[in-house]
Each structure stands twice: as C-alpha cells, then as structure tokens.
Amino acid sequence: MKIYEMKIAPNPRRVRIFLAEKNIPMEFVELDVQKGENLTEAFRAKNPLMKVPVLELDNGKTICESVAICRYFEETNPERPLFGRDAEEKAIIEMWQRWVEFYFLMPTGMCFQHSSGYFKDRMNPIEEWGRECRSHAEKFFDILDNQLANNRFVAGEEFSIADITALCTVDFNRVNRLSIKPEQVHLLRWYKEVSSRPSAKA
C-alpha cells in the first residue's frame, strides 16, 4: 500500500504522525500540489476531489480524507488507540477532533488560501474572507488554552487524534503569522510536550 501526499501540507502530516505513533511503515508518493500534480485525470480516478492525502490499498481501492485513513489504521493496528477506548472517551475525542478540524484547521487553511494566492490557478481568493478566517483561527488558540488548563491533552488525559490535528494546525499557522501567545501558558505547556514526541518529526 502507499500514500499520495505532499510533505509540507498539514493534512498529510496528520496521517504521517498517526502512522508514526503506531509504528506503521509506509511508502509515500510525493506530489507537488502547488504545481498541480494532483490535478491530473489519473489522480482524479484516485480521489474525485483531487486532494491529498490518499491511501491506495494493495487491492487498488483508495481511501481519501485524513481521518478516514487514520480510522482504517486504528482498526488494523488497534494498539495503542488514538480514537479512544470506551464509549465516553471515543465520543469526547470525536467531539474535539471535529471541533479542531472544523473551527481551527478549516479557517487556518482558508486564511492561507485566500490571503496568499497559493492556489490562484484553481480558485478565486477573497482577501476579506481570508481575514475573517484568520480571526476565527486566532480565537481557537484561546479555546485550546482554556481546555488545556484542566486537561493534559486536547481531549483529556490521553494523547489522541485531536492532538495530532491541533498540533498540525498550530504549526501550519506560521504561514498566517499566527502563533501561541506567551500568556497562553497551558497551550504552550501542551505544545512543548506534543511537539517533542518522536512522531511530531514525521
């Protein structure tokens, strides 16, 4: 099996960290997304939305969407779980994973795309929308800081997929010139811990 990705992009990094946490070896195929190497008919056959990452199984089937890919590996390699162990833990991790993805990663990506013109060959950047999304992303740093005041990790006491999405989003925000503020001490404490895990280098 192999994964089509682009090393500097935040969504493929989520999957690489997940695999590293579970010690799953993988073959990666690098696509230059800015040059449009994902915009070919051959790649459309693998993912109709033409985005990375894409997992291609040995039987030729493809699985798209970072979280769907991670869920596949959670099933094939259950130890140690990154989506929770029991009903309560699974639901809380799902809740935070979705909050981080929808209200932090999405506006972060939209701010980048609408402010930088990185994809101006395939979309119509709207600067005002970029600024609006930047303020949404900035607010989420506070939400995380509050949550981490009473929790070791984003979704509780266990490292999970929610931490992976949050770490990739915090790091990617450097393209938006957004970073953790000195007064966000709980977020800083968490960032130091999760970014020093070996998987963070993946």
Ligand X SMILES: N[C@@H](CCC(=O)N[C@@H](CS)C(=O)NCC(=O)O)C(=O)O
Give, in order, the Cα–Cα distances in Å from 27 to each of 2, 4, 72, 91, 150.
5, 9, 16, 31, 39
51: left (phi over 0), alpha (psi -120 to 50) or beta: beta
Residue from the set 10, 107, 130, 156 that interacts with ligand X by CB under 6 A: 10
Confirm or reject binding of residue 65 to ligand X (CB under 6 A): yes
Cβ burial of 103 (10 Å; 0-12, 13-18, 19+) is: middle
Confirm or reject binding of residue 51 to ligand X (CB under 6 A): yes
Confirm or reject binding of residue 52 to ligand X (CB under 6 A): yes
Confirm or reject binding of residue 194 to ligand X (CB under 6 A): no
> What is the spatial order of strands in the sheet that 2-5 belongs to?
27-30, 2-5, 54-56, 62-64
Give the span between the Cα atoms of 169 and 17, in whole angstroms: 13
Rounded to a whole number of angstroms, the minimum distance from the CB of residue 38 to ligand X is 5
Confirm or reject binding of residue 184 to ligand X (CB under 6 A): no
Rounded to a whole number of angstroms, the minimum distance from the CB of residue 50 to ligand X is 6
Of 46 and 148, which CB lies nearer to ligand X in the complex structure? 46
Q: Which stretch binds ligand X (CB under 6 A): 44-52, 74-82, 138-146, 193-201?
A: 44-52
Q: Which residues contact 56 (CB under 8 A, 6 or more apart)?
A: 1, 2, 3, 4, 46, 62
Confirm or reject binding of residue 176 to ligand X (CB under 6 A): no
Of 45 and 87, which CB lies nearer to ligand X in the complex structure? 45
Q: Which residue has the tokens 């162990």?
A: 85
Confirm or reject binding of residue 169 to ligand X (CB under 6 A): no
Rounded to a whole number of angstroms, the minimum distance from the CB of residue 160 to ligand X is 16
Q: How far out from the chain centre does Cα 127 lie? A: 23
Of 173 and 184, which CB lies nearer to ligand X in the complex structure? 173
As a whole number of Å, the CA-based R_g of the chain is 17
Of 35 and 177, which CB lies nearer to ligand X in the complex structure? 35
**Under the rule (CB under 6 A), what is the footprint of ligand X?**
9-11, 33, 38, 50-53, 65-66, 119, 122
